[in-house]
Homo-oligomer: A and B are copies of this chain.
Amino acid sequence: MQIDNLLKQVDFIKEIDKLKYIQRKTKLFNSDRHENDAEHSWHLAMMTIVLAEHANKPIDVLKVMKMVLIHDIVEIDAGDTFIYDTQKNHSNTEQERIAAKRIFGILPAEQAEEFIAIWEEFEEGKTDDAKFAKSMDRFEPLLQNTSNNGGTWSEFNVSYQKVYHKKKAIKEGSSSIWNYAENLLNESVKNGILKT
C-alpha cells in the first residue's frame, strides 16, 4: 500500500514540474523577466510564513501554505488567465475544475481529495485561511508592479479603479497589509505609474 502510494506520488511530483513553464504576465522585481507559476507559488509561501502575524483572524499557517503552493497547479492544463482580462472569468472555470481532477487525481485517492478540497476552499475565498491566502496572491504582483514602473498596469493600460477593485481583497485577509497596499496604490497614482 505504501509502495502503491509512493509510485503515484512520484508520478504527481513529475507532472507538476510543468508549473515551471507557465509564464505569468507579471515580471520579477525590478526586472524584465516574466515570473513563472512555480516561482510565484514559492514566493507566496514565503510571504505566508513571514506575514502570518498580520492576519485579521487566526490562521492555520500549514493549511494556507498548502493553498498557495498548489493554487496555480490547475494552470498546467488550463493556462494562466490575466486577472484584468475582461473576456474571461478568472476563477474556478469548468476547465480548471477538470484540470484539478486530472492532476490531483494522479495522487492516492485520499490525498487527491484533500488537495481538491484545499484548492476549492482557496477558490471560494470564504474561510479565514482562504482570505489570507488570497491576500498574499494579490499583494505580490502589487509589489512587483510598483518596482517595475507600473508593470502590467502600464503595459495593459489598467486603471486605478480596476486595480483597486481587485486589490481590496487584501483587506479581507489583513487590514494592516491593506493599509500599506492602499498607500502604495495612491503613491503609484501620484507617481504617474497608475492612471485614474
Chain A residues with a Cβ under 8 A of chain B: 2-3, 5-6, 9-10, 12-14, 16-17, 19-21, 28-29, 35-36, 38-39, 41-43, 45-47, 49-51, 53-54, 61-62, 65-66, 69-70, 107, 111, 140, 143, 147, 176-177, 180
Contact = CB atoms under 8 A, between A and B. Distances in A.
Contacts of A14: 29, 143, 147
A54 B17 contact: no
27 contacts: A2-B54, A3-B180, A5-B53, A6-B54, A6-B180, A9-B50, A10-B143, A10-B180, A13-B140, A13-B143, A14-B29, A14-B143, A16-B43, A17-B28, A19-B42, A20-B35, A36-B39, A38-B39, A38-B42, A38-B43, A39-B42, A41-B42, A46-B69, A46-B70, A50-B107, A61-B62, A62-B65
A176 B3 CA distance: 8
Contacts of A70: 46
Contact of A38 (B38, B62, B140, B176): B38
A176 B5 CA distance: 11
Contacts of A38: 38-39, 42-43
A6 B42 contact: no
A16 B65 contact: no
A55 to B, nearest CB: 11
Given A14-B29, A39-B36, A176-B2, A69 B47 contact: no
